[in-house]
Structure 1
Amino acid sequence: MDVTQAIFGRRSVREYTDEPVDESLIGSLIHAATHAPSAVNAQPWAFTVVRDQKALHRISDQAKSHMLTTLGGNPHADHFRSHLSDPNFHVFYHAPALMLISAIAQGPWIVEDCALAAENLMLAAYAAGLGSCWIGFAQSYLNTSDGKADLGLPAEWVPVAPIIIGHPKSAVAPVPRKSPEIRWVG
């Protein structure tokens, strides 16, 4: 698969089979992620892999509770609240694995660096026949001291990209894309 096929074919997958993701495949996804560019080649990332379903369920419940108390004036608060209040809603969609990319060094571009690694990981997952989805609902909770403690992360780490991976139950249809606003200068 060439890179253009991966870019145009990758989708956010929210329905997975129970089939576990092989450890060596997870290793190859991490390897792909580490080939992302980073500012001044700092490579400030670390990877935490969670495959324990009880832990994922517990973290899902904690993330939902945290999000419900911190929604504030979010323009999508009503929509989010309906999902987060549902006891059957699982923020990780029962995926077999969570791969969290965290920044482990300080610097002005650590979030961007980890986001670039995340995109490499998601494209490599798609090329390997897996589905993936960046789970924003978990992101703020994992950045709390309780969230870091849940995963045994050092206090100074900055969780950036919680990405679920697994074998998709079915193909995900493309979603319409907006035409970009383009400004030409010169």
Structure 2
Amino acid sequence: MDLKEAIYGRRAVREYTAEPVDEKVLRQLIDAAIQAPSAVNQQAWLFSVVRDKALLARISTEAKAHMLKTSIAAASHHFQSVLSNPEFDILYHAPVLIVISAVAESPWALEDCSLAAENLMLAACAAGLGTCWIGFAQGWLGTADGKAALKLSSANLPVAPIIVGHPKTAAAPVPRKAPKIDWIS
């Protein structure tokens, strides 16, 4: 798959098979991620790879409870209903969660980790895998309990929780709006 195909074909995948993702493939995705640019070439990122089913289930449960307690989004009836459902798995039963964290304070930590995340997701698409950035997990993973679950130090900042797995079906294309462009001469 060429780069253009990956860019135009990558979608958020929310249905996965139970098939595990090979460690060699996960290492290749992380290698693609670290090719991203980083401010002052610090490369101050850490990749936590979670494949333990019990820990994945705990992250889902704890993150839902945290969102319900702390998020303005949870005030919406839709999100309250979804997050209160014990059957709803915020990780969509994916076999892998990769959390990209900043390992050093930097004014550009979020940007650096986000660039690495996009590389990882494009590489996964090119490898026939699905991914989805799980915003619901971000709040809890940033707490002391969340960091402890990932064995992160208190100085680490979890930025990009990305699930990875084999998609059950191909995700449908999503229409894009025309870009708003201001040409300033």
| TM-score grouping bracket, smaller chain normalisation | over 0.9
Equivalent in the alignment of 2:100: 101
**Mapped partners of 1:145, 1:18: distance in 2:** 30
Q: How far apart, in 1, do the equivalents of 2:18 and 2:75 lie?
A: 31
Is 1:162 matched with 2:161?
yes
CA distance in 1, matches of 2:25, 2:74: 38
Q: How does 1:16-55 map to 2 (within 5 A)?
A: 16-55=16-55
Determine the structure 2 residue equivalent to 1:11.
Answer: 11
Provide the C-alpha distance between the structure 1 equivalents of 2:68 and 2:155, rounded to a whole number of angstroms.
25
Q: What's the counterpart of residue 83 of structure 1?
A: 82
Instruction: Tell me the residue number matched to 2:175.
Output: 176
Structure 1 equivalent of residue 58 of structure 2? 58
Measure, in 2, the Cα distance between the counterparts of 1:75 and 1:138. Answer: 13
8 A contact 1:49–1:98 mirrored in 2: yes
What stretches of structure 1 move > 6 A for 4+ residues in a row?
Answer: none
Q: Can you list the C-alpha shifts for 1:69-124, whole angstroms capped at 9, x where unaligned?
A: 0123x397332212101110001000000000000011100000000000000000
Distance 1:31 1:20 in 2: 19
* Rounded Cα–Cα distance in structure 2 between residues aligned with 1:113 and 1:120: 11
1:160 deviation in Å? 0.2
Report the Cα offset of residue 2 of structure 1.
1.2
Residues 115, 76 of structure 1: CA spacing in aligned structure 2 closer, same or farther, 3 A cutoff?
farther
Determine the C-alpha separation between the residues in 2 that align with 1:158 and 1:79.
Answer: 29
Query: What RMSD over aligned residues (CA atoms) do the two structures have, in Å?
Result: 1.1
Please report the TM-score for the alignment, with normalisation by the length of structure 2.
Answer: 0.97
When the two structures are superposed, what TM-score results if normalisation uses the length of structure 1?
A: 0.97
How far off is 1:48 after superposition? 0.3
The whole-number CA distance in structure 2 between the counterparts of 1:61 and 1:77 is: 19
Distance 1:75-1:59 versus aligned 2 partners, 3 A rule:
closer
Contact 2:67 2:74 in 1 (8 A): no
Contiguous gaps of at least 5 residues in structure 1: none
Q: How does 1:117-156 map to 2 (within 5 A)?
A: 117-156=116-155
Structure 2 unaligned runs (5+)? Answer: none
For 1:34 and 1:125, the matched residues in 2 are separated by: 14
* Aligned sequence identity (%): 62
Q: Distance in 2 between matches of 1:87 and 1:75?
A: 15
